[in-house]
Amino acid sequence: MDSRKPRSWPSFGADQSHRVIEATRRLEDVTRLISDWVWETDRDLRLTFVSERIFELLGILPAQVIGGRLSDIGKFVNSLGENVDIDIRRPFRDRPFQAIGRTGEARSFLVAAVPCFAEDRGEFIGVHGIARDVTDLKEAEVRSQRLSDAVESLSEHFALYDGEDRMVLCNERFRRLNRAVIDTVRPGVPFEDFIRAAVSRGLMPQAIGREEAWIEERLARHRGAGGSFEMERSENRWLFITEKRLPDGGTVIIGMDITDIKKAETSLRRSEQLHREFAADVAHELRTPLAALHANLDILGDEKAVVSLRRDVGDMTRIVEQLLAFTRLDVLVIGDDAVADLVSVATHVAQQIAPIALRAGHPIEVIGAEVPVLVRGDAAFLEQALRNLIENAIKYSSRDTLVTVQVRAGDNPGISVIDRGIGIPEDQREAIFERFRRADRRAGGSGLGLGIVKRIVIAHDGEINVSDNPEGGTVFTMAFPSLSN
Ligand code: ADP
């Protein structure tokens, strides 16, 4: 038997007393290593020894508690922190024990003990015990519990990945959303494994048919973490996902369910579409009878009442045309290769309108049109926008005033229409671009013209501005990105 013992436990060569001293020292060392304080009681469970370290931990001098009981130092507790009675005569391990620390803080220990019996008669003579300070561990546990409680209480889907892109934690909502791939929604599983599993189970409808490309894009976005985006999930669900990079290289993923918002958006778009179609139908149906009315009025001569009727029918025709134009603009997309020359747009429209303008007492001049000014654009739509601006310039200024169409070249190409009319009060300059908004309700018009202009300009990535003409009147300027940009 003895030959199997480690040779150094204790030294066989030494004499009896030396071996006892050596064994005792060794026992003390080991005890110190595995515990924070050591205690012993007599047969009446009164403390006979408490190691000095208890002073550092609890501010108690051993002499203060010798002769007392363990319960004078602290109490055994259950997992809820409630006091429990323990028969310390029976051996036990890792029993939670709580005491008050030096600075009044609660300290947590795990206590172990064994009963001791007299060697000769075998009677119970006391208890030997140790206690390990687990306060820091406990606090870390509480902090981590607090974090997971907070994460669970979120109404969003939440997942946290570490610097190596492995899951640290997620909430129940996130797990439920991904229950079809629950094996990949566990701490330690890389984000890529989760995404691949979700795609292969068909949880990402946007990936269907282009799985590998979609996965690459999703991973690139995830690695770049710093943005928000919408993502479709199976069963027509939509999420608004925000990914944020943490200072330690980890990533937080927060997903908000926007299915209801998406549904409302779709039905709104559908209803807008229906309205547009209805308006287009009505406008279309009105065109023919209006044209017939116009023709009939032409035959009736130039009596005062007829002239007035003709003007009203003219206004109505314009409104109907604008309504039709407006309903068509929603689908306006300017191709990347489309190029328009602002000079020819300006001269063409001016030539078309000039006879009507002159009849209304407004000469039109085009300036700044020496060389072509090219922009990415659709000439027909740009002409439509410019026509609306010139018609307004005529409509909102008195007879015998000049309308100037100015083409601007350079880095910020554009066209301005300058009139000498009634002007537009500063506080109405934003509102006039809204549909059916008119600064002066008495003048005949639909309130659609500037809405059309704005839509066309925006479709060209341009801007429209209104300012005062220093000579009196208004300047409308459409500006477009330069073709070289
Ligand atoms: P409409 O002219 O058919 O009423 P618009 O959308 O073209 O509709 O114009 C909206 C409003 O902006 C007009 O009702 C008018 O009050 C104002 N407005 C537009 N152009 C001018 C202008 N050149 N001078 C003064 N007011 C203008």
Q: How far is the CA of 392 from the centre of ligand 1 (A)?
A: 6
Residue nearest to atom 7 of ligand 1 (CA): 449
Q: Which residues line ligand 1 (CB under 6 A)?
A: 388, 392-393, 396, 419, 421-422, 424, 432, 438-440, 445-451, 474
Ligand 1 centroid – CA 412 distance (Å): 25
Q: How far is CA 357 from CA 4, 72, 279, 383, 447, in A?
A: 119, 106, 29, 16, 20
pTM of the full structure: 0.52
Asked whether the beta carbons of 173 and 156 are under 8 A apart, the reply is yes
Question: Sheet harboring 474-479: ordered strands across?
Answer: 364-367, 403-408, 414-418, 474-479, 463-468
Q: How far is the CA of 437 from the centre of ligand 1 (A)?
A: 8
- Of 28, 76, 27, which is closest to residue 51 (Cα–Cα)? 28
Distance from C-alpha of 423 to C-alpha of 113, rounded to nearest angstrom: 96
Give the nearest ligand 1 atom to 433 CA.
Answer: 6
| Residue 465 one-letter amino acid | N
Tens-of-pLDDT digits for all 485 residues of the chain?
444 555 555 555 667 788 888 888 887 777 777 778 899 999 999 999 998 889 988 999 999 999 999 999 999 999 888 999 999 999 999 999 999 998 999 999 999 999 999 988 889 999 999 999 999 998 898 888 888 899 999 999 999 999 999 999 999 999 999 999 999 999 999 999 999 999 999 999 999 999 999 999 999 999 987 789 999 999 889 999 999 999 999 999 999 999 999 999 999 988 888 888 888 888 888 988 899 998 888 888 888 888 889 888 988 888 888 888 888 787 788 888 899 999 999 999 999 999 989 988 999 999 998 899 999 999 999 999 999 999 999 999 999 999 999 999 999 999 999 999 999 999 999 889 886 655 555 555 667 889 999 999 999 999 999 999 999 999 999 999 998 76
Atom of ligand 1 nearest to the CA of 438: 14
